[in-house]
């Protein structure tokens, strides 16, 4: 079922690296939504079943050849599916888009985060101590990251060194580090490492989709949000309050499900071989 969640709301995400764009409405401070996730989860709790949303989202200070502060996200949830069933659906969607628009077969593959990280950088991203990651980052020529958090060090290393080595076509990286779980469940993998059931799909090296086998434990989610808030305070970032309505809903019980968000502009970029997101937007930010 298609749903149409609000774009404007009184709360927004607490993610340390995602900034919401503020607005004034009904005499109070509000935010343009960075993702439909929280509203969709409230619908899932109320029994909506499998749902999708195709709509605009907004993120502050994100502009470049792959970013526009307003962009289109396709987000959907599948009840009782795990992340691998959902990965298959993402793959089918992209394969289908290439078949019908370009009439070509796109290669599709999957790889474990720990494996591709270790192949390229020679260290286990889940087990390596933070100090090892920090000195690796410095050694690689990024001295400003020398005292960064574990998640930020890993993201920098992954983006700069692992991402460029990913195969052509659609590559889905799964089992992200536990510190980057966001709203995914975590589990102990075969090697006894705590990893998250989060995946990201890259289309010819371009980050396309981010998905989770969703965390349903309201208490754990609340702790993660509180951790975000604390990190925001430490980093002197704008204070974001935790979405109490989502928390209430989660405490009633989110059904077991997997969810994913896919950047539609990015898919169009790849399908039309555009070098910049501006080529697939009639009115990119520069013209607004």
Partner 1 sequence: MGNYSTNEFRSGLKVMLDGDPCSILDNEFVKPGKGQAFNRVKLRNLKTGRVLEKTFKSGESVEGADVLDMDMQYLYEDGDFWYFMEPDTFEQHQATETAVGDAKLWLKEQDTCMVTLYNGSPLSVTPPIHVELEIVETDPGLRGDTAQGGSKPARLVTGATVKVPLFLDQGDVIKVDTRTAEYQGRAKD
Q: Which helix (H) or strand (E) holds 109?
A: strand 108-112
Give me the residue label for tokens 């050694």: 139
What is the footprint of partner 1 within residues 206-225 (CB under 8 A)? 207, 210
Give, as one character, the DSSP assignment of residue 164.
G
Copy the structure tokens of residue 34. Answer: 């960075």
The minimum distance between CB 104 and partner 1, in angstroms, equals: 26
Q: Rounded to whole angstroms, how far apart are CA atoms 114 and 144?
A: 25
Stretch that binds partner 1, among 81-89, 95-103, 151-159, 243-251 (CB under 8 A): 151-159
- Range in contact with partner 1 (rule: CB under 8 A) among 114-122, 156-164, 240-248, 280-288: 156-164
- Supply 81's token pair: 């599916």
- Binding to partner 1 by residue 161, rule CB under 8 A? no
Q: Where are the beta strands (DSSP E) in 118-270?
A: 170-174, 186-188, 194-196, 198-203, 206-213, 257-263
Q: Is 180 in the site for partner 1 (CB under 8 A)?
A: yes
Residue 144 near partner 1 by CB under 8 A: yes
Nearest approach in angstroms of CB 261 to partner 1 is 8
Nearer to partner 1, 114 or 211 (CB): 211
Check binding of 123 to partner 1 (CB under 8 A): no
Cα distance between residue 11 and residue 242, in whole Å:
7
Contact pick of 93, 182, 240, 281 for partner 1 (by CB under 8 A): 182
User: Beta partners for 263?
Assistant: 73
- 208: Cα separation from own chain's centroid: 9
Per CB under 8 A, 156 contacts partner 1:
yes
Per rule CB under 8 A, is residue 63 in the interface with partner 1?
Answer: yes
Length reported for the chain? 288
Which positions touch partner 1 (CB under 8 A)? 15, 17-18, 61-67, 141-142, 144-145, 148, 151-152, 155-156, 158-160, 180, 182, 200, 207, 210
């Amino acid at each position: 079922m298609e749903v149409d969640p609000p774009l404007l709301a009184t709360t927004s995400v607490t993610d340390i690296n995602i900034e919401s764009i503020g607005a004034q409405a009904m005499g109070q401070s509000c935010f343009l939504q960075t993702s439909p996730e929280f509203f969709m989860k409230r619908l899932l709790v109320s029994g909506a079943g499998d749902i999708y949303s195709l709509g605009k989202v907004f993120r502050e200070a994100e502009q470049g050849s792959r970013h526009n502060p307003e962009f289109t996200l396709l987000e959907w949830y599948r009840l009782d599916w795990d992340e691998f069933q959902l990965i298959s659906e993402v793959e089918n969607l992209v394969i289908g888009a290439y078949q019908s628009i370009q009439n070509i077969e796109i290669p599709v593959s999957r790889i474990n985060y720990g494996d591709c990280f270790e192949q390229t950088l020679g260290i286990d991203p889940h087990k390596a101590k933070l100090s090892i990651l920090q000195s690796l980052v410095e050694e690689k020529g990024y001295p400003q990251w020398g005292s960064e958090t574990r998640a930020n060090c890993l993201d920098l290393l992954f983006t700069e060194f692992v991402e460029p080595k990913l195969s052509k076509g659609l590559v889905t990286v799964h089992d992200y580090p536990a510190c980057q779980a966001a709203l995914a469940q975590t589990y102990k993998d075969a090697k006894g490492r705590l990893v998250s059931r989060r995946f990201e799909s890259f289309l010819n090296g371009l980050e396309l989709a981010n998905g989770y086998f969703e965390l349903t434990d309201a208490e754990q989610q609340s702790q993660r949000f509180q951790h975000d808030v604390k990190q925001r305070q430490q980093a002197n970032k704008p204070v974001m309050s935790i979405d109490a309505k989502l928390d209430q809903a989660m405490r009633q019980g989110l059904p077991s499900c997997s969810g994913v968000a896919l950047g539609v502009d990015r898919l169009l970029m790849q399908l039309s071989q555009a070098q910049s997101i501006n080529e697939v937007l009639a009115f990119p930010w520069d013209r607004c």
